[in-house]
Amino acid sequence: MYSGWIRGRRKSSRRGQMEILIVGPGAMGNLFAARLSNAGYHVTLLDHNPERADRINRQGIFIEGVSGEYSVNVPVISDPAGIRPDIIIIFVKSGKTKEAALSVRDITGKNTMITTLQNGLGNREMIEAITGNRVIGGITSEGATSLGAGRVRHAGAGMTVLGPGRATDERLENLVSALNMAGFRADSANNIDDLIWGKLIINAGINALTAITGLKNGQLPMYEGTLNIMKDAVEEAVRVSEALNITLPYSDPMEKVLEVCRNTSGNIASMLQDVLNKRATEIDFINGAIHREGIKAGIPAPVNLFLTRLVKTIEASYSNRTF
C-alpha cells in the first residue's frame, strides 16, 4: 500500500508554496497529480471537460498497480482563469497540444515554468510559440493505463528526465526534487533532445504496428512481417537522427526496441488503446514526425510515411469499419 494521505484525509503540511498545474486528466496526468499531491505538494488538474472534472472532484483519483492502491483528492478545474501556477506540466495527447497551450497562455507569467512530458516531436516548439514562454522538454518511461475518469492502472515504473536546464533554473530542480519525493525516479539533463529522439525511435518501432495489427508489444517480434517492418522503420528513424546530429542514448537501436517489447510484453500500447477506443492517435507526432524531419534533412523515410498513412486511414474509418 502506498503510504501518505488517502482520500478524504490530507497531510497537514505542504512542501513549500510551489503551485503545480497539470494539464490533461488522462492516465499520466492523473498518475503524476495523485502522487505529487500525495507527497504534500499543491497540485491542480486542468480538464477541458467540465462534466469529467466534476466527476473526478466528487470521486477522487484512484490508482492501482505497481505503486499500490490508493485514492487521492486532487482539485480539478475546467477554467484556469485567476490561478497563477509556478509550474505547468502538459500531459495531453499531442493532437491537443495547441488547445492546451492556448488554455494556459493567459495564466503564464515570465517566471512560469512550462514543461511537457508528451510523446513525439514538435510539442515543445508549439507550446513556446503560443505561450511565449521557454518550455522545458522531457521524457518519462512511467507506464499507465486509463480505466475511466480518474481511474488509473500504474503499469510500470521508469525514469523521468527534464531539460535542458540552466544554472538559474531553480524551479526545474525543485520539480525534479518534487518528483523524487513523490516516488518517481527523476533527473535533469542538458541532452534532452537526444533522449526525446531515443524515446521517439522506440515509439516509432512499436506503436503504429500495434495500432494496425492489434498485437501487444511483446507479440510484435514473434511474426516475421511485423519484425521486418519494425526494423525498417527503426533504421529509417536512425538515419534521420544521424543527419540531425542526434546522439542516441543507446548503442543498438533495434536491440533497444526489442528489449522494450520484451519488458512490456503484456502492454497494450497507447496508440492501440486509442484505436480500440476510436480516438485520435499521436501518429503525426511519432512516425509522421520522422517523415517530416527526414524531408528537412534530405533523408527519405517511406516506411514511417506508410505507417502514418495506415494509422490515419484507421482513424478516418472508425465509423465504417467491420471490426
**Which residues have a catalytic role annotated?**
199
| Torsion angles phi and psi, residue 80, rounded to 5 | -85, 0
70 contact partners, CB below 8 Å, separation of at least 6: 1, 2, 4, 6, 7, 34, 38, 62, 63
Taking alpha carbons only, the member of 148, 151, 82, 86 closest to residue 112 is: 86
Q: How far does Cα 244 stand from its chain's mean position?
A: 23
Residue in the structure block whose three cell numbers are 523524487? 180
Taking alpha carbons only, the member of 208, 233, 182, 147 closest to residue 34 is: 182
Residue in the structure block whose three cell numbers are 475518469? 149
C-alpha distance from residue 257 to each of 122, 233, 281, 303 (Å): 22, 11, 20, 16
Cα-Cα end-to-end distance for the chain:
40
